[in-house]
């Protein structure tokens, strides 16, 4: 039998067998974007990674409730200004107009990368009452204090009781002096530098604010996620995910808030995706070492030699494990483009192939079945997409050999062939979420017309009718179709 699904639990710092709290069901919360600007490529990587995890859990037959929030209030800049409000001022929009604009763009980008919509996509501003309730509960439990209309989480008191503050990120409370970046301006109101705001009093000029028992104010960013995960998944749920950069302070504080409110750990497994680098270095606007998704698609950037399609970029992402850093280079994207197109060609070929019905249990048959088993084992090993993808490419070799006649159908059983077909399609389309970028119906028309023109051209050449043969080549070139004469006949490609 194949191995069971294991996941690397960041909190336990080891791989653990995945056993959901309720049999057959999985609750998963992933911290979504703060919608104040275009989504970064690094964030896209995070959301694509968790989409593949979501898809794999669905593939395994779990009923998954996947919650990914939208942060539209409370996420502050280093200067203590609300990110949404600050940008709205710049763009001369109402904050919620800005939220609408960038939420739409985020959803478009997620669709471009062919990710599935989460089951629930709650907004922070949609859960004010629940947030106020949680602040009350934390205050009642003694793990928070009010100062001038703001409420702060008392990390020292929490740590005294639970001894666990800093456990996720591996930080010690004594060393945490001024690391919390989100409320430097209120440093003086806090009892300890590691304390953090769960409710903040708003200044007069602040736009996004609500009535609360403490002040007209707004919720702390960390609090929002605690509230929305609890509301839709319960006090304790299976998986909490997010980018590595959220481990501290965001996730650390989420855990403290949840325990401070309910007394129990929120998530059984904490999963963190790693960073996206470019040319070996951290992406950074100030260095110019950055590229947006659209720049990547159009090629309008000094970092790439040309544009790469979304599915090529996604293929490239699959080539790294979600917990490893991933290094974006032009060379790697070029290789991904070749790999992706090889994969799609194999998919099309496989679609037309049929086993004649009688085959033998040969060495090749055994090898094929082992390859399939390994793909599943690799994916079960903490969602190891690069290994599983390599396995899928071994299937591509089988497909191409069968197509070319280098492997005979009689050397594999009908059953193994069907398994090949099923596994290949499941992994490529359902689990990795790749798709053919040219619509198949249109494709059929192009293929048909191009093949017809090639046939006529071959006949013309046989008859030494160079006028017709040249007309076809030149006219096609004019509309962007290039013919290539090779030893296996003539092929065509779009330019």
456 contact partners, CB below 8 Å, separation of at least 6? 468, 472
Task: Assess contact for 15 and 9: CB atoms under 8 A.
Answer: yes
Task: Assess contact for 457 and 483: CB atoms under 8 A.
Answer: yes
Closer residue to a copy of itself, CB minimum distance, 392 or 476: 476
Closer residue to a copy of itself, CB minimum distance, 393 or 446: 446
**What does the alpha-carbon distance between residue 39 and residue 46 come to, in Å, rounded to a whole number?**
11
**What does the alpha-carbon distance between residue 457 and residue 451 come to, in Å, rounded to a whole number?**
10
Closer residue to a copy of itself, CB minimum distance, 79 or 480: 480
Closer residue to a copy of itself, CB minimum distance, 1 or 467: 467
Closer residue to a copy of itself, CB minimum distance, 363 or 478: 478
Q: Report the nearest approach of a copy of itself to the CB of residue 105 (Å).
A: 10
Q: Report the nearest approach of a copy of itself to the CB of residue 104 (Å).
A: 5
- Specify the DSSP class assigned to residue 126: G
**What does the alpha-carbon distance between residue 495 and residue 493 come to, in Å, rounded to a whole number?**
6
Q: Report the nearest approach of a copy of itself to the CB of residue 301 (Å).
A: 23
Binding residues for a copy of itself, rule: CB under 8 A, are: 65, 93-94, 96-97, 99-100, 104, 107, 117-123, 125-126, 128-130, 133, 210-211, 232, 442, 444-446, 448-450, 452-453, 455-456, 459, 468, 471-472, 475-476, 478-481, 494
Q: Report the nearest approach of a copy of itself to the CB of residue 112 (Å).
A: 13
Closer residue to a copy of itself, CB minimum distance, 21 or 96: 96
Q: Which residues pair with 276 in a beta bridge?
A: 326
Q: Which residues pair with 237 in a beta bridge?
A: 267
Task: Assess contact for 84 and 125: CB atoms under 8 A.
Answer: no
Q: Report the nearest approach of a copy of itself to the CB of residue 93 (Å).
A: 8
Closer residue to a copy of itself, CB minimum distance, 104 or 279: 104
Task: Assess contact for 135 and 239: CB atoms under 8 A.
Answer: no
- The four Cα atoms 238, 243, 244, 250 give a dihedral, to 10 degrees, of -80
Q: Which residues pair with 242 in a beta bridge?
A: 272
Q: Report the nearest approach of a copy of itself to the CB of residue 119 (Å).
A: 5
Q: Report the nearest approach of a copy of itself to the CB of residue 102 (Å).
A: 12
Closer residue to a copy of itself, CB minimum distance, 122 or 391: 122
Q: Report the nearest approach of a copy of itself to the CB of residue 242 (Å).
A: 20
Taken as a whole, the chain contains a residue count of 495
493 contact partners, CB below 8 Å, separation of at least 6? 481, 482, 484
Q: Report the nearest approach of a copy of itself to the CB of residue 96 (Å).
A: 5
Task: Assess contact for 75 and 221: CB atoms under 8 A.
Answer: yes
Helix 385-404 vs helix 363-380: angle between axes, to the nearest 10 degrees? Answer: 160
Structure tokens belonging to residue 268: 């059984």
Closer residue to a copy of itself, CB minimum distance, 140 or 361: 140
Which of these, 267, 269, 152, 154, lies nearest to 162 by C-alpha position? 154
């Amino acid at each position: 039998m194949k191995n069971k699904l294991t996941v690397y639990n960041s909190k336990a710092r080891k791989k653990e067998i995945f056993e959901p709290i309720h049999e057959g069901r999985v609750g998963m919360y992933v911290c979504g974007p703060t919608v104040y600007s275009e989504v970064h490529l690094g964030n896209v990587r995070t959301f694509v990674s968790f989409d593949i995890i979501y898809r794999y859990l669905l593939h395994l037959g779990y009923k998954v409730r996947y919650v990914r929030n939208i942060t539209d209030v409370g996420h502050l800049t280093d200067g203590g200004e609300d990110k949404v409000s600050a940008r709205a001022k710049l763009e001369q929009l109402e904050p919620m107009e800005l939220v609408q604009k960038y939420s739409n763009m985020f959803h478009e980008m997620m669709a471009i990368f062919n990710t599935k919509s989460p089951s629930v996509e709650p907004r922070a501003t949609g859960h004010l009452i629940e947030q106020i309730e949680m602040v009350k509960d934390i205050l009642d439990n003694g793990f928070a204090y009010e100062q001038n209309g703001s409420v702060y989480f008392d990390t020292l008191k929490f740590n005294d009781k639970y001894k666990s503050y800093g456990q996720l990120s591996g930080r010690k409370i004594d060393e945490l002096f001024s690391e919390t970046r989100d409320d430097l301006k209120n440093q003086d109101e806090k009892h300890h530098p590691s304390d953090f705001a769960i409710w903040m009093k708003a200044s007069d000029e602040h736009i996004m604010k609500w009535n609360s028992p403490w002040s007209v104010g707004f919720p702390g960013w960390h609090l929002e996620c605690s509230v929305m995960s609890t509301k839709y998944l319960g006090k304790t749920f299976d998986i909490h995910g997010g980018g590595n950069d959220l481990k501290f302070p965001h996730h650390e504080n989420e855990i403290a808030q949840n325990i401070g409110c309910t007394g129990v750990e929120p998530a059984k497994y904490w999963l963190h995706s790693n960073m996206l680098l470019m040319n070996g270095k951290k992406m950074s606007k100030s260095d110019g070492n950055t590229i947006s998704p659209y720049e990547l698609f159009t090629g309008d950037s000094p970092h790439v030699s040309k544009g790469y399609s979304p599915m090529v970029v996604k293929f490239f992402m699959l080539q790294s494990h979600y917990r490893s850093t991933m290094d974006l280079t032009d060379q790697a994207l070029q290789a991904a483009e070749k790999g992706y197109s090889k994969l799609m060609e194999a998919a099309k070929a496989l679609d037309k192939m049929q086993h004649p019905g009688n085959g033998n249990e040969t060495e090749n048959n055994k090898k094929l079945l082992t390859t399939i088993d390994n793909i599943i084992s690799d994916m079960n090993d903490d969602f190891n997409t690069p290994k599983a993808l390599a396995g899928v490419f071994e299937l591509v070799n089988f497909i191409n050999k069968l197509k070319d006649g280098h492997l005979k159908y009689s050397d594999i059983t009908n059953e193994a062939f069907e398994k090949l077909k099923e596994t290949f399609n499941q992994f490529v389309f359902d689990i990795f979420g790749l798709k053919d970028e040219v619509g198949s119906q249109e494709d059929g028309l192009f293929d048909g017309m191009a093949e017809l023109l090639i046939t006529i051209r071959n006949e013309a050449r046989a008859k030494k009718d160079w006028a017709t043969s040249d007309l076809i080549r030149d006219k096609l070139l004019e509309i962007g179709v290039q013919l290539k004469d090779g030893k296996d006949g003539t092929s065509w490609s779009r330019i």
